[in-house]
Structure formats: structure tokens, C-alpha cells
Amino acid sequence: MHDHHPHHPHDHDHDHHGSELSPMEARVRALESILVEKGLVEPAALDAIIDTYETKIGPRNGAKVVARAWSDAAYAQRLREDATAALAEFGFSGRQGEHMVAVFNDRDTHHMVVCTLCSCYPWPVLGLPPVWYKSAPYRSRVVIDPRGVLAEFGLQLPAGKHIRVWDSTAEIRYLVIPERPAGTDAMSEEELAELVTRDSMIGNGLPRSPERRA
């Protein structure tokens, strides 16, 4: 433990002296250079990790899975029975998705996912979590007032609809399979994937309707 850092990030602001580095930029650079100097981390490995989450892994992965589940009843069944294995059919596996469960919205139930204790999130299918998912407002409220949270995302569910919130308190990660929008019978799997938003796979949104396809 060290006590030389003032504890609020903004406390550092007066230390800039014209430097363009923010306090956290300077702090992380210093840490990285110590670790590299000591041979504990390899810079190229850091670049490879960043590249993975910037360009290779993101919510388009999950959208492909949802579109397949909508198009292929046998696949949907495999996803229900063993989501980890069903996702591996796409090559989606690994860190923060080692043990996956898919939860299916239907006429009666709307699912929402949170991690109140940290910010657990299914990285292989959704990428890194958005800031709001990691934020105190979401983590504190979705378990007690999910309809209030949904309203802030512009979503009003019927009063009788059952809301099922999954607090990710272990290493099980949850993927919401939203309901297939009406009017999409003729669409291909690729077209369907375009309707699947990240938020619809967390539970704070619904898929796009076909006429509003981005």
C-alpha cells in the first residue's frame, strides 16, 4: 500500500505544469514502463490484448448468435441446453465467458443482466462493457427498480410482464436472447443480426424493428 497518491483523480489536476499527460495517463505509463523494464510484461503482448478488444471481440459476436437462434430452432435448443458449447460453434469462448448461460425473452418474461459487485460481463459475445453498465447508477438500481432503469433507456414494458434480473455474482455469464421482432420472417440470418443491438443482449433495450434498421 502506498499513500503518496491523493485519492481523488481530480486532485492531481494542479500538477500538470503544462504537461499534456493526464494524471492517469502518467500513472499508467509509469507503471507500464516499470513492468517492461523488469521483464514482467511484453509490450507486444499488451498491444495484442488491446487489438483483440478493439477490433476482434464485440457485440457483433453476440448479434450473430442471436440471429442464429432466431433462424435455427435446433441451434436455439443447443443454446438453451449448453450455451458455452453453442457459442464455441462460432469460436466465441474464453475470458469472461468461460461458463455461459443464455436466457430467452418471451411474451411473459424480460431478462436483464447486471453485476452489482463489480462489472462482470460476457466479453466473448459482447466485448468490453459500456461505462453505464459499470456505473453506480446501473449497478445499484437495476436490482430494485428495473422499470425505472428501463424507462431511462426509453423502454416501457407492460405492467404484467415479469422482469427477471440476473446478478452475475460468480463466473457464470449471461447473454439475453431477445424476442425476434415482428415482420422479419423473410430476413436472412445476416440481415437479422443487423437488428440485434448490444443493449438488447443485456436487457436494457429491444432489437431494432426491421423498418428502423440502421
Partner 1 sequence: MNGAQDMGGQMGFGPVVAEADEPPFHAEWEKRALAVTLACGAMGHWSIDASRHARETLHPLDYLGSSYYEIWIKALEKLLASEGFVTDDELRAGRALVAPRTPNRVLHAAEVAAALARGSPSERPATQPARFAVGERVRTANEHPAGHTRVPRYARGRIGRIEQVHGAHVFPGTSAHGLGEQPQWLYTVAFDGRELWGRAADPSLTVSIDAWESTLEPVA
Active site residue 119: yes
- Is 138 among the residues that bind partner 1 (CB under 8 A)? yes
| Nearest CA among 189, 197, 199, 210 for reference residue 75 | 189
Smallest distance, partner 1 to C-beta of residue 64, A = 17
Q: 204-207 long-range CB contacts below 8 Å, 24 or more apart?
A: 204/112, 204/149, 204/150, 204/153, 204/155, 205/153, 205/155, 206/155, 206/178, 206/179, 206/181, 207/66, 207/178, 207/179, 207/180, 207/181
Alpha helices, DSSP H only, in 20-58?
Answer: 23-37, 43-51
Please give the residues from 7 up to 36 whose contact with partner 1 meets the rule CB under 8 A.
7-9, 22, 24-35
What is the length of the chain? Answer: 214
Pull the grid cell for residue 89: 460453434
120 a catalytic residue? yes
| Grid cell of 34 as nine digits | 516499470
Q: Binding residue for partner 1 (CB under 8 A) from 14, 18, 20, 44?
A: 44
CB of 205 to partner 1, least distance (A): 9
Which residues ranging from 61 to 90 are in contact with partner 1 (CB under 8 A)?
none
Site for partner 1 in 89-118 (CB under 8 A): 91, 93-99, 101, 114, 116-118
**How far apart are alpha carbons 29 and 83 in whole angstroms?**
39
The answer to whether 60 contacts partner 1 (rule: CB under 8 A) is: no
Helix (H) or strand (E) holding 148: helix 146-152
Q: Does 155 bind partner 1 (CB under 8 A)?
A: no
Beta carbon of residue 7, minimum distance to partner 1 (angstroms, whole number): 4
Work out which of 20, 37, 185, 211 binds partner 1, going by CB under 8 A. Answer: 37
Q: Is 127 in the site for partner 1 (CB under 8 A)?
A: yes
Which residue among the candidates 19, 22, 33, 118 is catalytic per the annotation? 118
User: Catalytic residue positions?
Assistant: 115, 118-120
